[in-house]
Amino acid sequence: MTSAIVLGGSRGIGKAISDALESIDIDVFATSKNDIDTSNLNSVKGFVENNISTDILILNTGGPVPKKFLDITEDDWKLYHNQLFLGFCTILQNMKINDGGYIFLISSNVIKEPNPKLIISSAYRVAFSEVFKVLSKDFAQKNISCINIAPGPINTERTKELIENVKEYEKSLPMKRLGEPEEIGNFVKSIIENKIKYLTGVTINFDGANSNYVF
């Protein structure tokens, strides 16, 4: 039976991916912060000792509270360096992804069009995207596909925390609505279900035409 580990699998996009994978009979471990806290390297190391391999890995984690650049403390930088970058590196250095598997990274569209309020997230998520791109060429040799999904405004608790008036905000979006986590969940599911492997080393905006950069 195919196995999957979904980090941050208890809510939002992570939960939607977990649910979608379970619907096609994948054995999903949807982790919560009790299982693994990527901001804590000891927690990460403990987790990978107990979970030494998987077929499918979903690298997903919440983002930081919005802060202006001048208000960000050294502790903030270091915490989110762990949470958004070093925790994921540690996992990929220590966990075995089985041949023919998949790694999905859930990053954010701020990696291409950085957001002043989400400067920490912009910085560390793009840093990991760079690592992920490099590794995709190695993983390709084991028929493991690496797909970076960069969501825009999605209908999650987090978005509601970040956006003051969601109804008004939605009117400003090309699709006049937030994206649904299930759309990302189904997207991930369908790639796996259809055994699409050549889609790898790629960053996919998932933002309802909200971004402005041509690619």
Is residue 193 a contact partner of residue 24, using CB atoms and an 8 Å limit?
A: yes
Tokens of 33: 């912060």
Phi, psi at 97, each rounded to 5°: -95, 125
CA 47, 51, 53, 57 torsion-angle sign: negative
175 to 194, contacts with a copy of itself by CB under 8 A? 175-176, 179-180, 183-184, 186-187, 189-191, 193-194
**Per CB under 8 A, does 90 bind a copy of itself?**
yes
40 in helix, strand or coil?
Answer: coil
Which lies closer to a copy of itself via its Cβ, residue 34 or residue 168?
168
For residues 21 and 26, give the distance between their C-alpha atoms in angstroms, rounded to a whole number.
6
40, 43, 114, 158: which one contacts a copy of itself (CB under 8 A)?
114
CB of 186 to a copy of itself, least distance (A): 4
Question: Please, what is the Cα angle at 123 between 78 and 137, to 5 degrees?
Answer: 105
Residues 121-140 that bind a copy of itself (CB under 8 A): 122-124, 126-131, 133-140
With respect to a copy of itself, which residue has the nearer C-beta, 32 or 113? 113
What would the x/- binding string for a copy of itself be over residues 1 to 40, using CB under 8 A?
----------------------------------------
Taking CB under 8 A as the rule, which mask of x and - marks residues 48-77 in contact with a copy of itself?
---------------------xx-x-x--x
Residue 114 CB contacts under 8 Å (≥ 6 apart), including other chains: 122, 123, 126
